[in-house]
Amino acid sequence: MLDLKVERDEKNSENEKETFSSFGCYNKDWILLTNKPQKLNSLICCVCKQIANNAVELQCDEHENIEQAHLIGEECLQMYLKQNNGKCPIQQHEHCEFSKSKVIRQQISELLVICPRQYDLKKKQLKKGTISGEKEKEKEKDECNYKGKIKEMKDHLDKSCQLISIQQIISFIKELQSQLQNEKLQTVLSLFFFFFLEYLEFKNKRKIIQKKKGKITRNVFEKINSLQNEYVKKDEQITEMTNNIQQLKLETNQTITQLKKKIEQYQNVFDTCTKLNEEIKHLKSEKELNEMKQNEEILKINNTNQILKQQLDNRLNEIEQLKKEIKSKNNHQINIKLDEDKKENYYNNISSTFNFDLFCSSSKLINTFIGHTNIVRSIDYSTFNDCQFICSGSNDKTVGVWNFNNNKQIQSFNGHSDHVYCDDTIRFWDFKHNKKLQIFNRHTNDVCSIEFSSFNSGRYLCSGSYDKTIRLWDIETSKSLHIFNGHENWACCVDISPLKNNNNKNDNKSNNIGLIGGNGYTICSGSFDKTIRIWDIETTKQLITFNGHEDAIRCVKYGLNELVNIILSGSNDKSVRLWDIRSNKQIEIFNGHKNIVWSVEYSPFIINNNSNVICSGSTDKTIRFWDIRSNKNELYVMKSDEQVICFKFIEKKLNNDICVNLCYGSTKGLIYVFG
């Protein structure tokens, strides 16, 4: 219904050309009201004879000698060219050429004019006849007295003009219809506009009737009353529809309010759960802290008892020494005995070394262990019941055990959720029955290195992690004893200082200590922060920081016997370095590898008057041997077909003799044995 009415009104308005348009030329009579004719003569469109809008100037070669410039409105020119097959409107030749005239356009846009709607209104009134008296006063209320420049006219019509045409009302209603998505609201708006148009029609009829009031009959008055009643009914219908719209808005607002309240309730529940989780974490941390404090107090008490016991032993030793000094003959016998001990130690040292040149010249691949399906990350060995076993961890998430005597894999432990290098747990397994015994899972990120203590029969375990911490564990009690904080990046390798020498070979009590601390044992750690740090096990304090490596540190090792104060390290910077704990300095650097140094070891070989040989493995597919006292070229290079990630020296009994085998793990999951 509304669409038909709108179309009818649009057809009625098509015959009336607008005085002002953004595209068509401007009405000359309208502009003459406020401007002199002489000023407008040079601005006339040569096609429609009105004032040119968006003026262009003809520049054809055929009439370039004509002094007068030919202006034409841009829309008029396009229509003319389209209707006349592109021929020039001046001389009817082809290929008409023209250009925009910025100066003329600026001049026209500065012309002063009155409101075009006011002009159109006055024009219609003149056609219908002069309005006088009260009607003229009423019309004065609907006038627009605006006067301004043409370039400002569009803004005036859109924002401040008091006169609104029926075309604007129609376009406004159409725009509302297109924006409304609710069909019910569209229907209401359509009915509203229909009644509004009927009301306007009724109002016009009423004006006509009032003009002829003296001539109409009683029947006409009855029709007027009927129309008035209909208007009242329609007005009531509009009011009812308006109330319905308001009711819909109210219901919508209520629904939105209820949804907001539910969202607030859910948010409150979520906030409460979050607070409870934080309180649980806080309680857990307090519990751990209290356990740590209790353990520290127990350790301090035990340390104090140990110190008192040591002091008592020292006093007894002093008394014994005084007794020995009184007996001169006994002194002579003691000196003889010391000489014998030195000799015995010398021969022991000789028997524990192996022929390096023989190893280099005769070693070859004697065995390959096949079982892992991914990179072998670590290798170690142990002896049970006179049988030697190799243990290996791999990126295939398994731990393999191999019988070194018969070259067979006897166990494969499955249970890690990731690489046996990048899992945040430490797992203990029953070697015989292939069962998991216990799990340490206090690290908050992947564990990448572990080392058993050399004292107390390996009761304590040290671990380094990607959470930047080092932890010390008591295996018997399954507790984390200490946390060492200080590294600024991953703590990816650790080692514990070796077992201290005993003068009395038959007495191991001093190494089977009942507590950690008071014996000078330390932990060494390497990190991706490019530092090596030494930690005191008793106080958990950092003692030394070694700086020198130019990239992440992959491996660290304590030396044995006389090398106990020397640290060996390998790094992503491709170098191998030696550090002296006593002087807190780097003492040697070995360059030769072409890629990351993943593993370092002190070899069992001694050359050149008791000079130790160190060894390093790299992803450059080599294992290199170095003289610890010289940083010159490597002593020997063992080449491999695969990248070397880890290796271990193993002493093997062969025909009542002991030989040295070198085992290394590769990136393809194979373990190679050279000897």
Task: State in words which class domain 28-125+144-161 has.
Answer: alpha beta
pLDDT of residue 122: 85
Closest C-alpha to 523, from 574, 489, 481, 572: 481
pLDDT of residue 621: 94
Question: CA geometry: angle at 323 spanning 319 and 324, to 5°?
Answer: 115
SS3 598: strand
φ, ψ (nearest 5 deg) of residue 51: -75, 125
Q: Tell me the C-alpha distance between 484 and 474, whole Å.
A: 15
Look up residue 516 and give its two tokens: 């950690």
pLDDT of residue 212: 60
CA 548: distance to chain centroid?
32
SS3 623: strand
The Cβ of residue 281 has, within 10 Å, a number of other Cβ atoms equal to 10
Q: Tell me the C-alpha distance between 421 and 557, whole Å.
A: 18
In single-letter form, the type of residue at position 564 comes to V
Q: Tell me the C-alpha distance between 30 and 10, whole Å.
A: 24
* Per-domain boundaries in the chain: 28-125+144-161, 189-316, 356-500+519-674
Q: Tell me the C-alpha distance between 394 and 413, whole Å.
A: 11
SS3 110: coil
| Sequence-separated (6 or more) residues with CB below 8 Å from residue 188 | 241, 244, 245
At which residue do the structure tokens 């056609």 appear?
127
Helix or strand (DSSP H, E) at 244: helix 218-326
pLDDT of residue 217: 61
φ, ψ (nearest 5 deg) of residue 221: -60, -40
| Sequence-separated (6 or more) residues with CB below 8 Å from residue 325 | 331
Question: Under a CB-based contact definition with an 8 Å cutoff, are residues 280 and 272 in contact?
Answer: no
Closest C-alpha to 634, from 660, 655, 604, 607: 607
- For the beta sheet containing 365-369, the strands, ordered from the edge strand earlier in sequence to the opposite edge, are 365-369, 671-674, 657-666, 644-654
Where does residue 563 rank: exposed (0-12), middle (13-18), buried (19+ CB within 10 A)? middle
Give 467-481 as a DSSP string. Answer: TS-EEEEETTTTEEE
Q: Tell me the C-alpha distance between 140 and 410, whole Å.
A: 112
The Cβ of residue 131 has, within 10 Å, a number of other Cβ atoms equal to 14
Question: Under a CB-based contact definition with an 8 Å cutoff, are residues 413 and 457 in contact?
Answer: no
- For the beta sheet containing 611-618, the strands, ordered from the edge strand earlier in sequence to the opposite edge, are 597-607, 611-618, 622-627, 636-639
Q: Tell me the C-alpha distance between 574 and 633, whole Å.
A: 14
Low-confidence ranges of the chain (pLDDT < 50): 1-15, 131-134, 138, 328-352, 503-515, 517-518
pLDDT of residue 338: 37
The number of CA neighbours under 13 Å toward the Cβ of 124 is 10
From residue 443, give the alpha-carbon distance in Å to each of 282, 440, 464, 472: 17, 8, 9, 11
SS3 605: strand
Task: State in words which class domain 356-500+519-674 has.
Answer: mainly beta
Question: Under a CB-based contact definition with an 8 Å cutoff, are residues 666 and 377 in contact?
Answer: no
φ, ψ (nearest 5 deg) of residue 528: -70, -5
Q: Tell me the C-alpha distance between 262 and 135, whole Å.
A: 61
Q: Tell me the C-alpha distance between 479 and 500, whole Å.
A: 25
| Sequence-separated (6 or more) residues with CB below 8 Å from residue 255 | none
